[in-house]
């Protein structure tokens, strides 16, 4: 039986192309590369959404971007062996005004709900969770056409601070952890989204971690 893996994230999991404003093809997106690298023993579900947050409802984005609202019904449908969560970058936006520690607090709430739901409602208590601290924004971020939505002077620093908090949360909830922040940063096209090289590098890091978790 194939091992099922859900990649749950934002635009960097969706595969947003910062050059065209479209979407990278499946062979360029990191979940697609992951699928090709892992082979037929694994089934990869791509659950990326542009603008997705951990817990913040965003009415300017149609009110459909809150990961907390979607993750539980998605898990009931997919029932994966491994859930990969890579979120938090959109929670850094000015409109939410949150420090990295509070974003990690939102992640704690999400994991609390996931654990309880899996153990008590959909009977998959053995589901593994991999928390990824997302790739950091790159400098000079003020050149990005997304800069006005973030703090151009503090967002890069706060994006790097997520990793230390996420590691603590992952340890508390007995989740596996991958720090992509220190190893990958956003491409130079918009200083926010991964370029093809970044997607490939992330896929290789995640592949090694999956082999470690699932064998």
Instruction: Output b/e per residue, 166-199; b: 16+ Cβ within 10 A.
Output: bbebbeebebbbbbbbeebbbbebbbbbbbbebb
Would you say 130 and 189 are in contact if contact means Cβ atoms under 8 Å apart? no
pLDDT at 152: 62
pLDDT at 61: 82
pLDDT at 115: 96
pLDDT tens for 40-86 read 999 999 999 999 999 998 888 888 999 999 999 999 999 999 999 99
pLDDT of 121 higher than 70 = yes
pLDDT tens for 18-39 read 999 999 999 999 999 999 999 9
What does the domain layout of the chain look like in residue ranges?
A: 3-214
pLDDT of 187 higher than 80 = yes
pLDDT tens for 136-161 read 999 999 999 999 999 766 889 999 99
Q: What angle do CA 186, 8, 63 make, to 5 degrees?
A: 90
Share of residues in the chain with pLDDT > 70 (%)? 99
Give how far the C-alpha of residue 192 lies from the chain's centroid of Cα atoms, to the nearest Å. 13
Mean pLDDT computed over 4-11: 98
Angle between helix 30-38 and 196-214 (nearest 10): 50
Mean pLDDT in the chain? 95
Q: Where are the alpha helices (DSSP H) in 44-176?
A: 67-78, 100-120, 155-172
Global confidence as pTM? 0.97
CA-CA distances (angstroms) from residue 147 to 79, 150, 174?
37, 5, 35
CATH superfamily membership of 3-214: SGNH hydrolase (3.40.50.1110)
Helix (H, G, I), strand (E, B), or coil: what is residue 133? strand
pLDDT tens for 159-171 read 999 999 999 999 9
Please state, in angstroms and rounded to a whole number, the distance separating the CA atoms of residues 69 and 49. 13
CB atoms within 10 A of CB 61: 16
């Amino acid at each position: 039986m194939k091992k099922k893996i859900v990649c749950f994230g934002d635009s960097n999991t969706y595969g947003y192309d910062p050059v065209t404003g479209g979407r990278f093809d499946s062979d360029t997106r990191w979940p697609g590369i992951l699928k090709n690298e892992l082979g037929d023993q694994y089934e990869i579900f791509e659950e990326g959404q542009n603008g997705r947050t951990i817990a913040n409802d965003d009415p300017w984005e149609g009110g459909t971007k809150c990961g907390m609202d979607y993750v539980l019904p998605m898990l009931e449908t997919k029932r994966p062996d491994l859930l990969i969560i890579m979120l938090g970058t959109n929670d850094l936006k000015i409109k939410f005004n949150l420090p990295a520690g509070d974003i990690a607090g939102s992640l704690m709430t999400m994991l609390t709900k996931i654990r309880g739901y899996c153990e008590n409602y959909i009977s998959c208590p053995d589901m593994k969770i991999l928390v990824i601290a997302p790739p950091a924004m790159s400098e000079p971020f003020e050149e990005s056409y997304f800069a006005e939505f973030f703090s151009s002077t503090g967002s890069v620093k706060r994006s790097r601070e997520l990793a230390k908090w996420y590691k603590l949360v992952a340890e508390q909830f007995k989740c596996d952890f991958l720090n992509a922040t220190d190893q990958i940063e956003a491409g130079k096209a918009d200083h926010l989204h991964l370029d093809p090289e970044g997607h490939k590098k992330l896929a290789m890091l995640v592949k090694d971690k999956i082999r470690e978790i699932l064998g």
